[in-house]
Amino acid sequence: MLLPRIFAPVRASIATSSTFIAPSTRVLDALRSANGSATPTVPTLSFVRHSAHQAQGRANGAKDGPGKRLGAKKSGGEFVIPGNIIFRQRGTAWFPGENCKFGRDHCVFATESGYVRYYRDPRKHPKRQYIGVALEKEHTLPYPPNAVRRRRLNMLAVPVTAPTSSSTPAADVIVADLPVDTAARADTPRESTRKSLTLTRGKGYAYREANWQIGRAAERANVQVKEFVPGDRWTAWRKSNARIEANVERKKLRNAGKKTAKPKARKQRN
Amino acid sequence: MVSVTLSIRQFSACLRCVQQVSGANVTPRRLLSSSTTAREDLQTQSSTPLPPPPSDPPTDSTQISAPQETPEYMQKWGTLDPQMVENKKQERRLLRREHLQPVGSRRRRAVLRRSTIQQATEVPFEQLPYQCFQEARRFLLEDRQEKLKEIETQQIRIKNLVEQDPAVSGGLLAKEARIRSMRKHLNELVILADINDPVVKRKFEDGQGDMNKPIYRYLADEKWRKYKRLVLEQRITQLDVVPDFLPTIDLVADIDLGFGRKPVAPGDFVDSAISEKMPRLNVQTFTPGEKLVTVVVVDGDVPVPETDSFTYRCHLIASNISISPTQTSIPLQRIAQEDQKIEDPAAKKISVPWIAPWAHKGAPYHRLAIFVLEQSEAKSLDIARLSKTKRNKFNLRSFVDSHKLNPITATLFRTKWDESMAGVMERAGFKDQINVELKRKRVEPLPHKRRIERMR
């Protein structure tokens, strides 16, 4: 009942068009216009496009972490003392110029007290930008190329604390074969109980002897080492022989536990 | 036994490649060029006025005086020929008795020795039976003849140009510029004529080149620039000799520094006991002619705690020392001894005598720079005027300017406090400075970083 009424305009349109062969979209359009806009046809999706990239979770990484507080810590013209960090950075946007150095994370710090300058030095490098410390307030950086370097002594002249003349370490000498009795108990020739032992704080926290003092321990203990004579083939031969023999012994010991295949008894041919 | 014969055969085979220039019984032979005298004449002609060839006194004197002085055990060593010593022992003996260095490689010396022992017949260079080799020789000879011809024409051209009226050749300046460029080309040709000569190359490598001849000077200069000069230049720039003492320096002469027997590389730390005596210098120039030079030793790191800075101190000025490509040694110690004998103060050479380099305890190292300054037009300087130079706060820049000097080379060594420094300072007359020590100044923290009582 309904169908003939619906199809009536279609029939009419088909009748008007002389050529029936038309693109399919046109047919749909014609249908739509014929039906009127009162009942729009909803197109239904016949397939799903899946995501190719993870949208949630850790896939995209944390974009907004805590700030690293990079950038200039001292501005141009500010007074700094040695060790003051002037600029923190990732990579080398700024290079250390006069009286400055790189830290281990490329931060630029001052090695002299003075006034911070941000500058370029085309003679050194055409593209780099430098941070320097001018020693006086009115100085500009870079300093002229052929002029005498400006530098400070940063030292004081004081009277010598230890007299330089007493270079004989008589107190350090330890007799190796000391008679052991109760009186000399305190003077045992052990390194740790030495009288002249001076412990200083090294780079770390520990108080220890200096490396050069440790290195002299054998000398203090009066250890006699046989002197090496270049070209002494006799001693060299004896030593090498002893070494070879010792190696043979060691090899025997090493192989003692193992089962070794017996060498096959050869048949004596007639 | 087999190996021995084998090696001998190898030696004799090798012998043909190795030439003996002056053996014990072989006359010296010119190899590439047949006309020796012509070439040497040409070299002396073409180059700008040269000093007369040296008579080579040191070797003569040793040969004459050695047999008289040598002790008996040395005479037992027999004849030692620098061309033929073969093993280490003989080399050492040669150096001890004859004061001569062996020539060339040990392999070559061995070959020469074997061949003289076997009395092997020597095939001269020209008759070696290698066709390719002979072709190459002929080619080089042709090239050399070409170069000789070019040199002749160039000389004639220069002569004509010199005689020409400046108006014709486009003004005096243009004429001079042209003459200069032509002379330069002539010098290049002189070098090119000899540069492919195997004998020249070998003589240079053996250290027997005559530095009066342009080719050997050229080769020596090339060799120096390839390594030694680079090192020296690097030390001079890295240790800031260049902006601190002089604004710039162009190194044109080789310099060797040493104290007594010990050579010192540029920039080395020298023990104060060693540097108490004057150094000896060896300055090899590569340009012809004699030069008068002034040697200046300056300490560039004298601390001034009052002004918190550094200043300079002059340790030595020795002037009117003549050097040339063949006369390279500047034995300052001997010059000072000779000066003491001279009565006339104007004839002396050392105007500011040597003081030993010294450094305070704890002070940063002192750089002692040694400059060789060429005096302009080889004119001698006035010693009386020079001796008024102040040691302290010595400014080398103004010194060079006021005396019209031209730095040709420089080197340096360093000193710092060591065990022997106290004694050196006492002998040098700085006893009051021995017990002064330099210590680092405490750096005051910035005001907002200062820890105050409340914070503790």
Q: Using the beta-carbon criterion (under 8 Å), do B248 and A160 form an inter-chain contact?
A: no
Q: Are B371 and B312 in contact (CB under 8 A)?
A: no
Taking CB atoms and an 8 Å limit, are A113 and B443 in contact across chains? Answer: yes
- Phi and psi dihedrals of A117, rounded to 5? -135, 135
Q: What is the SS3 assignment for B99?
A: coil
pLDDT beneath 50: ranges in chain A: 1, 18-19, 22, 164-188
pLDDT band with cut points at 50, 70 and 90 for residue B156: very high
Residue B174 has pLDDT above 70, yes or no: yes
B292 and B406 in contact (C-beta within 8 Å)? no
Residues contacting residue A201 through CB under 8 Å, at least 6 positions apart: A207, A208
B304 with A153: Cβ contact below 8 A: yes
Per-residue tokens: B97: 């008795």
Out of B363, B422, B445, the one facing A81 most closely (by C-beta) is: B445
Is A145's CB within 8 Å of B305's CB? Answer: no
Stretch B190-217: mean pLDDT? 91
User: What is the number of H-type helices and E-type strands within chain A?
Assistant: 5, 11
Mean pLDDT of B84-89: 88
- The widest CA-to-CA distance across chain B, in whole angstroms, is 102
Tell me the shortest Cα–Cα distance from A97 to chain B, in angstroms.
16
CATH code for the domain defined by B242-433: 3.90.280.10
DSSP A137-205: TT--SSPPTTSPPP----EEEEE-SS-SS----GGG---SS----SGGGGG---GGG-TT---EE-SSS
Cα(B447)–Cα(B441) distance, rounded to whole angstroms? 18
Task: Show the tokens assigned to A121.
Answer: 């030095």
pLDDT range class, residue B58, cuts 50, 70, 90: very low
Which of A153, A159, A160 has the CB atom closest to B310's CB atom?
Answer: A153
- A156 — contact with chain B (CB < 8 Å)? yes
What are B86's two structure tokens?
């073969």
Closest residue in B to A111 (Cα–Cα)? B443
How many Å is the maximal CA-CA distance in chain A?
138
Query: Average pLDDT over chain A, rounded to whole?
Result: 78
Closest Cβ–Cβ partner in B247, B309, B310 for A146:
B247
* Residue among A77, A99, A79 nearest B446 (CA): A79
Cα of B22 to nearest chain A Cα, Å: 36
ipTM field: 0.73
The pair of three-digit structure tokens given for residue B318, joined into one six-digit string? 């020795």
Quick: pLDDT tens for B254-302.
Answer: 999 999 889 999 999 999 999 999 999 999 999 999 999 999 999 999 9
Q: Which residue of A has its CA nearest to B444?
A: A81
Q: Give the relative orientation of helices B131-163 and B172-194 as an angle to the nearest 10 degrees.
A: 160
Task: Give the gap in angstroms from C-alpha A116 to the nearest C-alpha of chain B.
Answer: 14
Q: Which contiguous run of DSSP H or E holds residue B408?
A: strand B405-415
Cα radius of gyration rounded to whole Å, chain A? 46
Q: From CA B362, how far away is CA B364, in angstroms rounded?
A: 7
Using an 8 Å CB-CB cutoff, list chain A residues near B308: 152-154
Chain B residues whose CB is inside 8 A of the A156 CB are 305, 438-441
Q: Which of B305, B419, B434 has the CB atom closest to A156's CB atom?
A: B305
Closest chain A C-alpha to B361 CA, distance in angstroms: 8
- Res A213: pLDDT: 86
CB contact under 8 A, B361 and A147: no
Q: Looking at beta carbons, which residues of chain B come within 8 Å of A83? A: 443
Q: What is the pLDDT of residue B378?
A: 87
Best mutation target among B437, B448, B450 (most A Cβ atoms within 10 Å) is B437
Distance from CA of A121 to the nearest CA of B (A): 17
Q: In this predicted structure, what is the pLDDT of residue A32? A: 61
Contact flag B446-A84 (C-beta cutoff 8 Å): yes
Domain ranges of chain B: 2-54+64-127, 131-223, 242-433
Q: What is the pLDDT of residue A250?
A: 94
CA–CA gap between residue B66 and residue B20 (Å, rounded): 25
Which helix (H) or strand (E) is B111 found in, with range?
A: helix B106-118
* Contact state of A153 with B303 under an 8 Å Cβ cutoff: yes
Cα separation, A152 vs A211, in Å, equals 31
Mutate to test the interface with B, among A99, A113, A115, A148 (most CBs of B within 10 A): A148
Report CB contact under 8 Å: A153, B360: no
Choose the mutation target among B438, B444, B449, B450 for the interface with A, i.e. most A CBs under 10 Å.
Answer: B438
A146, A155, A160: residue with CB nearest B435: A160
For residue A122, tell me if it sits in a domain.
yes
How many CB pairs below 8 Å do chains A and B form together? 75
CA B337, B343, B347, B351 torsion-angle sign = positive
Question: From residue B400, how far is each of A190, B283, B349 by CA, in Å?
Answer: 63, 19, 17
Listed residue (A146, A151, A155) closest to B241, CA to CA: A146
**CB of B349 closer than 8 Å to CB of B235:** no
Across the interface, whether the CB atoms of B437 and A147 are under 8 A apart is answered no
The answer to whether the predicted template modeling score (pTM) of the entire model surpasses 0.80 is no
Closest-CA distance, B62 to chain A, in angstroms, reads 33
| Range among A119-128, B29-38, B442-451 with highest mean pLDDT value | A119-128
A262 lies in some domain: no
Q: Is B286 helix (H, G, I), strand (E, B) or coil?
A: coil
Separation in Å, CA of A145 to nearest CA in chain B: 7
Sign (positive or negative) of CA dihedral B235, B237, B243, B249:
positive
Residues 38-67 of A with CB under 8 A from B: none
> Of B244, B422, B441, which has the smallest distance from its Cβ to A156's Cβ?
B441
Contacts of residue A100, Cβ cutoff 8 Å, sequence gap at least 6: A86, A108, A109, A110, A111, A130, A131, A132, A133
Single-letter amino acid, residue B407: P
Nearest to B308 among A81, A145, A153 (CB): A153
User: Do B303 and B363 contact (CB within 8 A), yes or no?
Assistant: yes
Question: What integer best gives the mean pLDDT of chain B?
Answer: 84
Spell out which residues of chain A touch residue B244, defining contact as CB-CB under 8 Å: 148-149
Average pLDDT over residues B125-146: 89
Nearest residue of chain B to residue A82 (CA atoms):
B443
pLDDT at A7: 58
Kindly give, in sequence order, each residue whose CB lies less than 8 Å from that of residue B260, ignoring residues fewer than 6 positions away: B274, B277, B280
Q: Is A153 an 8 Å CB contact of chain B?
A: yes
**CB B445 to CB A82 under 8 A?**
no
The span from the CA of B327 to the CA of A21, in Å, is 112
Task: Check: CB of residue B413 under 8 Å from CB of residue B257.
Answer: yes
Which two tokens mark B296?
């200046």
Q: What is the dihedral of CA A168, A169, A171, A174, to 10 degrees?
A: -120
Q: Identify which has the larger pLDDT, B355 or A264.
A: B355
First-to-last CA distance in chain A? Answer: 123
Q: Is the pLDDT of residue B53 over 50?
A: no
Range of the domain at A104: 71-134
CA separation, residue A217 to residues A172, A180, A202 (Å):
10, 21, 18
Out of B247, B438, B443, closest to residue A157 by CB: B438
What chain B residue is nearest to A149 in terms of C-alpha separation? B244
Q: Across the interface, do A157 and B360 touch by the CB < 8 Å criterion? A: yes
pLDDT above 80: residue B37? no
Partners of residue B240 in chain A, C-beta under 8 Å: 149
Number of structural domains in chain A: 2
B241 contacts in A (CB within 8 Å)? none
Q: Residue B5: pLDDT above 60?
A: no
Interchain contact A166–B (C-beta under 8 A) = no
Angle at A225 between CA A221 and CA A230, to 5 degrees: 155
CA distance B98 to B81: 9
Are the beta carbons of B246 and A146 closer than 8 angstroms? Answer: no
Report the 10 Å Cβ neighbour count for A188. Answer: 13
In which residue are the tokens 């990484």 written?
A: A61
The answer to whether residue A209 is domain-embedded is yes
> Which residue in the block uniquely carries the two structure tokens 């006309």?
B35
CB contact under 8 A, A154 and B444: no
